[in-house]
Structure 1
Amino acid sequence: MQLSLFEHQESYAHEDYIILTGNKCAHDFIVDNKTWNCLILYGPSGSGKTHLAHIWQKFNGAIFINLNNFVDAVNSSNAFILEDIEKIQNEVLFLHCYNYAKENSKKLLLTSSLAPSALTFKLNDLKSRILSTISVGITLENEELLRLLLIKQLTDRQLQVSSRVINYILTQSERSLSRVRHIVDIIDEKLMYRSTGVTIPFVRSVLNLGDSKNL
């Protein structure tokens, strides 16, 4: 057992990406498809979009940007990543960045928690460009997504947990991404004071803490 004496650091290594039925297409498109210059990667929060973006970053020498630093960064690379485009409010600047990347043959990976058709941009030119952009989605079922998140959170903290314990956590806890994150946080915290590892009785005590609203 390795104790977490410091705040955990999330791993974005390619070998740590967990491929499941609902994300295999997106993974293969990011890793193997070299034909696109602009792509929208969409899927629910916690589904692994940022992990895939980091994998693509390493393959392409890409830079994570925001709208404010795009102009300064544009000459530093030929590949860029702009995340959470559903949160963008400055649509004019976003359109400018999009057009600049397209016109100068820069690669641009965009991520979104919403499918392109569900984005509510008001600028018509921006709408049309987004809808015409190649997109690929992560469509994990709720149970599969929770299992993916749980395994990833435990792995990032270097916690070795059996499949029996993982199944127990999923069957006994509330079905939500935030709840899974809270449970892993408290497991990591409380495990420092125990030597028995992550067992079902230990997890049961953690879940009881949650019932007492101590999570």
Structure 2
Amino acid sequence: MNRQLAFDLPAQVAFRRADFFASAANSEALAAIEHWADWPGGKMLLIGPSGSGKTHLAHVWAEAAGAQILNAIDLAQADLPDLGARPVVVEDAERIGGNRSAETAFFHLHNLLAGRGLLVTANAPPRDWGLCLPDLQSRLQAASLVALASPDDALLSAVLVKLFNDRQIVVPPNLISYLVARMDRSIAAARALVAELDALALALGRPVTRALATYLLDSAASE
């Protein structure tokens, strides 16, 4: 295929509540985030596989609660008294397992927050993180937990439609169901796939069609 010069202009990822699509895979988690004032002890664990929407929901809650977001692995270098003054989102908490300095910082932050609001995201429950501080593990395991499942067909279809619309790309009706049946089942995979199709269509000077998607997916599979 002959290719033309194309500019890679990444689309901005929107983490607003209006951009979050509810489905059977995430409805329980969404309800928990929207009713955060009812969290026992002011804390919640949000568990789910990569690409299931944890970060999006974390941003939705942070906007509603006025919370600061940071990655768990950065806790050891964080200014804990400053963090403890307002609600906090700790992302990718499973990454601190076995990192004593990060675990100790998390333990102190947990105590500093004292019901002000703490949302923790991870890909598995605390018992699976390999924590070395029993006090931290016991406190986290006592927190309420809500889980996200991998995106279902309805959610992936809605996300793909929006991603194409955001790029002002008109696609044939049969393309969405075709992509859903063949793609990796995550929101991140949907974003990557739409971006790759957009770039390929621009480079070839062709519209985004099922034939183009087949070419892209088959090329990726052969690699």
- For the aligned pair, the TM-score class normalised by the smaller chain equals 0.7 to 0.9
Which stretches in structure 1 are left out of the alignment for 5+ residues? none
Equivalences for residues 21-170 of structure 1 within 5 A:
21-36=24-39, 37-65=42-70, 66-67=74-75, 68-71=77-80, 73-74=82-83, 78-88=86-96, 89=99, 90-102=102-114, 105-140=115-150, 150=160, 154=164, 157=167, 159-161=169-171, 164-170=174-180
Check conservation: 2:83, 2:109, Cα contact below 8 A. Answer: no
Distance 1:162 1:14 in 2: 28
Equivalent pairs counted in the alignment come to 207
Distance 2:204 2:111 in 1: 56
- Other structure's SS at 2:178 match: helix
Distance 1:211 1:148 in 2: 25
Distance 2:136 2:88 in 1: 18
Partner of 1:203: 213
More helix by share: 2
Distance 2:93 2:193 in 1: 29
Distance 1:202 1:194 in 2: 10
- Other structure's SS at 2:130 match: coil
Distance 1:4 1:115 in 2: 42
Check conservation: 1:86, 1:113, Cα contact below 8 A. Answer: yes
Distance 2:199 2:160 in 1: 16
Q: When the two structures are superposed, what TM-score results if normalisation uses the length of structure 1?
A: 0.81
Call closer, same or farther: CA 1:99–1:185 in 2, change over 3 Å.
same
Q: What's the C-alpha RMSD, in Å, of the aligned pairs?
A: 2.9
Q: When the two structures are superposed, what TM-score results if normalisation uses the length of structure 2?
A: 0.78
Question: How high is the sequence identity, in percent, across the aligned residues?
Answer: 28
User: Bigger CA drift: 23-32 or 5-14?
Assistant: 5-14
Check conservation: 1:115, 1:137, Cα contact below 8 A. Answer: no
